[in-house]
Structure 1
Amino acid sequence: MLGRTLREVSTALKQGHITPTELCQKCLSLIKKTKFLNAYITVSEEVALKQAEESEKRYKKGHSLGDLDGIPVAVKDNFSTSSIETTCASNMLKGYVPPYNATVVQKLLDKGAVLMGKTNLDEFAMGSGSTDGVFGPVKNPWSYSKQYREKRKQKAHGENEDSNWLITGGSSGGSAAAVAAFTCFAALGSDTGGSTRNPAAHCGVVGFKPSYGLVSRHGLIPLVNSMDVPGILTRCVDDAAIVLGMLAGHDPKDSTTIQDPVKPFTLPTFADVNKLCIGIPKEYLAPELSSEVRSFWSKAANLFESEGAKVIEVSLPHTSYSIVCYHVLCTSEVASNMARFDGLEYGHRCDINVSTEAMYAATRREGFNDVVRGRILSGNFFLLKENYENYFIKAQKVRRLIANDFVNVFNSGVDVLLTPTTLSEAVPYLEFIKEDNRTRSAQDDIFTQAVNMAGFLSCLQDCQQ
């Protein structure tokens, strides 16, 4: 039952083959068995069981709320959840319990979803491996497959097997691992520069980044306001479409959401790609791209072509400036957004009472890790009066050029771009941590962050595992 699609499980619930409570208990049992993955920061067992019982009552009365009623889901721990601790995997917010639900969380609950818990991440979603949160790194479920163990035995040279596991990617690694390990049927992530798609690719699940404004950001603790998007992780594309249909639409609490009504998202039973024009960006043929990913990319393009689609090479000429532009804009907005965590209103507060300035400094030193502090410092540097024009304003201009590249390609008749997600498959933890966070993020976001700056939709199903 845990390996079925949302529609299949929903049908089973409606037909009485399994009850929401039984389904919830199965997932809770699996969460306990896979605790070593460190996918969850908080397991909301009591809340989940209560929600499952309420769903069971609705089914008995024939009042199902839809395909998500009674379905176990998980939420990344940077979405506000009423009565459940929300930490962003940071000492700064340990013990913080929001008084409200994020809009996307509330929409899931309104449809009868059962909240299993809050998933692990890089601190404040700043990272590409889910290795930099205060609750420890997330382990990729595929690390424990027979295939991977055999592969590593051939390469290992005195390595500690306990540290030889694969990373999940980040920053939504906990959500990806939770879905891949069958502890829930869908999970929310967030995507600023690839944080949903990256771990989806590494964990062999579907990661979907909606267009900016299609889904409300209200209640998502911000990293970069102009790029953040709630993401969806599921085990098949149809499931992602179901969840998107329930989350998309205008939210009066988020002025950036679209105003027009959103039609239901339905996928055809048979996809005819004969009239589809698929673009392959030549700039994405990076020298660092692994032979394995390059091979899968080529196979995917050939598959579309064999089914009648037109596959052509296209150009996104400002790609080489994209990651640098992203770094400037990302850290600048981080510096602004993190200013709210000062120890006065909520979150961590140090015991120093010498002066307000000393309290600020000590609180932020204790509450933030090196990664967050580093991005704050970089952002403040770019926003200095003497640097503002040369860095932030120029980066905004380059951002416009990057967006125009995509517009020009789509206006030329291209329907969709087919690109890799990361440079390589998931790597072992010991190999991953050889590089610092900034370097790793720059490498891992190379193919993904441009669409966040452009505001476009990007989705991926990657089963490289």
Structure 2
Amino acid sequence: MRTMLGRTLREVSAALKQGQITPIELCQKCLSLIKKTKFLNAYITVSEEVALKQAEESEKRYKKGHSLGDLDGIPVAVKDNFSTSGIETTCASNMLKGYVPPFNATVVQKLLDQGALLMGKTNLDEFAMGCGSTDGIFGPVKNPWSFSKQYREKRKQKPHGDNEDSDWLITGGSSGGSAAAVSAFTCFAALGSDTGGSTRNPAAHCGVVGLKPSYGLVSRHGLIPLVNSMDVPGILTRCVDDAAVVLGVLAGHDCKDSTTIQDPVKPFMLPNLTDVSKLCIGIPKEYLVPELSSEVQSLWSKAASLFESVGAKVIEVSLPHTSYSIVCYHVLCTSEVASNMARFDGLEYGHRCDIDVSTEAMYAATRREGFNDVVRGRILSGNFFLLKENYENYFVKAQKVRRLIANDFVNVFNSGVDALLTPTTLSEAMPYLEFIKEDNRTRSAQGDIFTQAVNMAGLPAVSVPMALSNQGLPIGLQFIGRAFCDQQLLAIAKWFEKQVQFPVIQLQELMDDCSSIFENEKLTSVSLK
């Protein structure tokens, strides 16, 4: 059973068809791991009854030989900012605590239509505003790699001060719960959302694959919006092939989302690239920033050399407007946040305070109680940028800079580059106590430095784990592709993944061997339903 959890989606699907394991047994094993590792705080809501009922239905189909496909009977998880019919959807905020949507997000419905088992809703930064999964009302998410033998041995050699219990690593964010859930083998795939790197960032820190599809390839209907013009449902899995399988299910036009592509999407069957000598890989010189850790820089160089060693062309390229990207993103992000958060007024759904002095007083008190400081701060910034006297100087200029940033990528790809190779994050995952020393805005600017420009350009990108650091922690690298060339991008990422052989199974063995450690850990807030 332990090795079954380490297999790919297609391998597990084949095992289910051959009767080596049943959907109910697979579901129960994952539920057991969720309970054993609940101190990670990866899940806000565990939908045990729903998952077991879905497993029973899946088992009936398998017995009749009517499997729905590669996801039938496969445990998955969903970030808690996707609407799920009959299951609480909170966005890790007091504003939506207790809210139960009457419908499923399109991507959730597509997974269920393929027979996937919904294990639960995963933790995040409140309304997906953050890069650490530390700012939600249900508490921070702990990185499973915090408890690896190598890392635990390393940290024993360092003083912990007076708070050793908090000497664990962040997952990255804002989809940290989904990344931790996949990394801890509690599900085979999880949905995240990616507005500026929120899928790729935690994927790099948790040693999993994080895919941000092209904008418009996957429906946003039912994803509670942060930034409509940049939000994309993301996919977290343990290998590139699995991400391609899930993308093949999710991609395509949705009549409920006018931003999705109109053309039919071809099946995502990744070729096994054996010859990459004709590829041209671009290395953006602007991404070599002073804050980049020496270990990440070294692995970045080794990855480039790996492509060169098999005959691929590796060239330095320029994205000249990169230095303006973070500021541009901040203006546009907060402006759209201010607009999107206006719907939470205490009248139609969500939290409502008891003040009845006036409508305006009720609005103000509801939003003060419902939103945390991070969300309120972004709303205030966005409203400032959208003021009549500021609109042209901030929002309009930021839109113009966004076009220049997007054109930088277009120019590079038009020059013959097939994919860009960059770091995903500045360093390996940080200890929680070190991470929270900085404010949310500063942390997000640092965490999204290599990722947010991709969202402004609407391009596909994927973070692939490459190796373990000297501390025994995952480091991932990012591949960026042309718009709607997601399949080609994933094929390149799959070739790279095969070459580097990241030790995923090592973590699975760790999770099983260290059960006594897990059981003794202090539990954090989690709702088992």
Give the alignment's TM-score, normalised by structure 2: 0.86
1:136-181: CA deviations, max 9, x gaps?
A: 0000000011111111122334353310000000000000000000
Q: 1:399 to 1:460 in 2, by over 3 A?
A: farther
Alpha-carbon separation, structure 2, partners of 1:421 and 1:193: 12
1:266-290: CA deviations, max 9, x gaps?
A: 1122342111000000000000000
The answer as to whether partners of 1:338 and 1:376 remain within 8 angstroms in 2 is yes
Q: Which residue of 1 aligns with 2:54?
A: 51
1:63 matched to 2:66? The reply is yes
Q: Which residue of 1 aligns with 2:511?
A: 460
1:181-240: CA deviations, max 9, x gaps?
A: 000000000000000000000000000000000000000000000000000000000000
What is the root-mean-square deviation in Å for CA atoms of aligned residues? 3.2
Alpha-carbon separation, structure 1, partners of 2:181 and 2:510: 19
The answer as to whether partners of 1:208 and 1:460 remain within 8 angstroms in 2 is no
The answer as to whether partners of 2:281 and 2:417 remain within 8 angstroms in 1 is yes
Alpha-carbon separation, structure 2, partners of 1:348 and 1:459: 41
Q: 1:271 to 1:17 in 2, by over 3 A?
A: same
1:369-407: CA deviations, max 9, x gaps?
A: 000000000000000000000000000000000000000
The answer as to whether partners of 1:232 and 1:243 remain within 8 angstroms in 2 is yes
Alpha-carbon separation, structure 1, partners of 2:34 and 2:229: 34
Q: 1:453 to 1:131 in 2, by over 3 A?
A: same
The answer as to whether partners of 2:184 and 2:511 remain within 8 angstroms in 1 is no
Q: Which residue of 1 aligns with 2:159?
A: 156
The answer as to whether partners of 1:204 and 1:462 remain within 8 angstroms in 2 is no
1:323 to 323, 326, 348: 326
SS of the aligned residue for 1:459 comes to helix
Q: Which residue of 1 aligns with 2:422?
A: 419
Alpha-carbon separation, structure 1, partners of 2:333 and 2:110: 28
Q: 1:462 to 1:338 in 2, by over 3 A?
A: farther
SS of the aligned residue for 2:342 comes to helix
The answer as to whether partners of 1:206 and 1:235 remain within 8 angstroms in 2 is yes
The answer as to whether partners of 1:207 and 1:459 remain within 8 angstroms in 2 is no
- Give, in angstroms, the shift of residue 308 of structure 1: 1.3
Q: Which residue of 2 aligns with 1:381?
A: 384
SS of the aligned residue for 1:340 comes to coil
Q: 1:461 to 1:451 in 2, by over 3 A?
A: farther
Of stretches 179-188 and 146-155 in structure 1, the one that deviates more from structure 2 is 146-155
- Give, in angstroms, the shift of residue 357 of structure 1: 0.2
The answer as to whether partners of 1:206 and 1:462 remain within 8 angstroms in 2 is no
The answer as to whether partners of 2:160 and 2:167 remain within 8 angstroms in 1 is no
SS of the aligned residue for 1:461 comes to helix
Alpha-carbon separation, structure 2, partners of 1:305 and 1:462: 39
Q: 1:197 to 1:25 in 2, by over 3 A?
A: same
Of stretches 117-126 and 301-310 in structure 1, the one that deviates more from structure 2 is 301-310
SS of the aligned residue for 2:211 comes to strand
Alpha-carbon separation, structure 2, partners of 1:162 and 1:14: 44
Give the alignment's TM-score, normalised by structure 1: 0.97
Q: 1:164 to 1:461 in 2, by over 3 A?
A: closer
- Give, in angstroms, the shift of residue 462 of structure 1: 24
Alpha-carbon separation, structure 2, partners of 1:9 and 1:418: 31
The answer as to whether partners of 1:40 and 1:119 remain within 8 angstroms in 2 is yes
1:286 to 271, 281, 289: 289
Q: 1:67 to 1:461 in 2, by over 3 A?
A: farther
Alpha-carbon separation, structure 2, partners of 1:155 and 1:373: 37
How many corresponding residue pairs?
462
Of stretches 113-122 and 260-269 in structure 1, the one that deviates more from structure 2 is 260-269
Alpha-carbon separation, structure 2, partners of 1:294 and 1:453: 25
Of stretches 262-271 and 128-137 in structure 1, the one that deviates more from structure 2 is 262-271
The answer as to whether partners of 1:206 and 1:461 remain within 8 angstroms in 2 is no
Alpha-carbon separation, structure 1, partners of 2:290 and 2:180: 29
The answer as to whether partners of 2:83 and 2:103 remain within 8 angstroms in 1 is yes
Alpha-carbon separation, structure 2, partners of 1:58 and 1:407: 47
1:55-96: CA deviations, max 9, x gaps?
A: 000000000000000000000000000000000000000000
Q: 1:461 to 1:217 in 2, by over 3 A?
A: farther
SS of the aligned residue for 2:381 comes to helix
The answer as to whether partners of 2:83 and 2:89 remain within 8 angstroms in 1 is yes
* Percent of residue pairs bearing the same amino acid type: 92
Q: 1:208 to 1:452 in 2, by over 3 A?
A: same
Alpha-carbon separation, structure 1, partners of 2:80 and 2:156: 35
> Which residues of structure 1 form unaligned runs of 5+?
none
The answer as to whether partners of 1:318 and 1:402 remain within 8 angstroms in 2 is yes
Q: 1:24 to 1:461 in 2, by over 3 A?
A: closer
The answer as to whether partners of 2:280 and 2:416 remain within 8 angstroms in 1 is yes
1:233-278: CA deviations, max 9, x gaps?
A: 0000000000000000000000000000100111122342111000
Q: Which residue of 2 aligns with 1:344?
A: 347
Alpha-carbon separation, structure 1, partners of 2:154 and 2:227: 39
Q: 1:420 to 1:460 in 2, by over 3 A?
A: farther
The answer as to whether partners of 1:205 and 1:462 remain within 8 angstroms in 2 is no
1:295-336: CA deviations, max 9, x gaps?
A: 111111111111111000000000000000000000000000
Of stretches 147-156 and 129-138 in structure 1, the one that deviates more from structure 2 is 147-156
The answer as to whether partners of 2:77 and 2:122 remain within 8 angstroms in 1 is yes
1:414-457: CA deviations, max 9, x gaps?
A: 010000011111010000000000000000101000010001xx
Alpha-carbon separation, structure 2, partners of 1:148 and 1:380: 44
The answer as to whether partners of 2:145 and 2:151 remain within 8 angstroms in 1 is yes
Q: 1:186 to 1:146 in 2, by over 3 A?
A: same
1:85-135: CA deviations, max 9, x gaps?
A: 000000000000000000000000000000000000000000000000000
Q: 1:331 to 1:271 in 2, by over 3 A?
A: farther
Of stretches 142-151 and 332-341 in structure 1, the one that deviates more from structure 2 is 142-151
- Give, in angstroms, the shift of residue 3 of structure 1: 1.1
Alpha-carbon separation, structure 2, partners of 1:397 and 1:459: 49
Alpha-carbon separation, structure 2, partners of 1:359 and 1:269: 59
The answer as to whether partners of 2:148 and 2:510 remain within 8 angstroms in 1 is no
Alpha-carbon separation, structure 1, partners of 2:418 and 2:512: 17
> Which residues of structure 2 form unaligned runs of 5+?
459-508, 515-528
Of stretches 364-373 and 154-163 in structure 1, the one that deviates more from structure 2 is 154-163
1:32 to 24, 30, 35: 35
- Give, in angstroms, the shift of residue 352 of structure 1: 0.2
SS of the aligned residue for 2:510 comes to strand
1:301 to 300, 304, 307: 304
